[in-house]
Amino acid sequence: MKLYHEVRGCSLAVDIVARELQIPLELEWVNMTTKRLKDGTDYFQVNSKGTVPTLEMADGQYLSEGAVIMQYLADQSPGSSLLAPPGTLERYRTLEWMSFIGADLHKGGFMPLFKAATPPEYRSIARQYLNGRLGWLNTQLSDRNYLMGSIFTIADAHCYTIAMWTRAHAIDTAPWPHLEAYLTRTGSRSSVKAAEQAAREQGERESAERMHNTH
């Protein structure tokens, strides 16, 4: 299977999940500025929304939406601790987290900060909103190692990926010590380190190409 991925994108969570499950994924890096693949293919042919992640499944079909791709991958390894079986309350609790991370943290909180066109007044509203959500998350993490308790799940791959954007926006996480400890704990997992390393190497390749093209 193939993951359409971006260096600083939320698609990192999918790569982490695949590595946790030891499901080999080919990584295809998308140029999100041109929306083209390395061979020049228009990425909208892969995902008509133009967003990453997209998973190309074994039969050649495409699946989009990170939260759904992560569930799909976890379900390829029945019995894995990354996601409880269908019908269990534990599964819905994990999905409750996935929805909070995708809607509240990613889209509601961080997205306005990424957009250059966001007016300053709205930027500060988004920051306030995000602070509230991160503060709540910090409280939730006060009595557990991972979102679901002691076991790492797909929700942690998702949460880590999005919450690490605090670094990209120089948001000081010192007021939220449980969140900081969580990010350190999760970031020390070998799956996370390997996924981050792959993204870092691609980032270096992209900067070298940019340098080459401008000289």
Binding residues for ligand GSH (CB under 6 A): 6, 9-10, 32, 50-53, 65-67, 102
Closest to ligand GSH by CB, 118 vs 145, is 118
Closest to ligand GSH by CB, 145 vs 202, is 202
Q: How far is the CB of 6 from ligand GSH (least distance, A)?
A: 6
Residue 32 carries which side chain, given as an amino acid letter?
M
DSSP classification of residue 141: G
CA-nearest of 30, 12, 152 to 81 is 152
Hey, which bits of the chain come out as E strands? 2-5, 26-29, 54-56, 62-64
Q: How far is the CB of 174 from ligand GSH (least distance, A)?
A: 25
Q: How far is the CB of 169 from ligand GSH (least distance, A)?
A: 14
Closest to ligand GSH by CB, 6 vs 56, is 6
Closest to ligand GSH by CB, 114 vs 136, is 114
- Joined tokens for residue 213: 């093209």
Closest to ligand GSH by CB, 52 vs 134, is 52
Q: Is the peptide bond before 53 cis (omega within 30 degrees of 0)?
A: yes
Closest to ligand GSH by CB, 67 vs 155, is 67
* Helix, strand, coil share (%) of the chain residues, nearest 5: 55, 10, 35
Secondary structure class of 21 (helix, strand, coil): helix
Secondary structure class of 12 (helix, strand, coil): helix
CA-nearest of 155, 154, 163 to 184 is 163
Q: How far is the CB of 177 from ligand GSH (least distance, A)?
A: 27
A 10 A CB-CB count for 164 gives 17
Q: How far is the CB of 31 from ligand GSH (least distance, A)?
A: 11
Position with the least CB separation from ligand GSH: 51
Q: How far is the CB of 28 from ligand GSH (least distance, A)?
A: 14
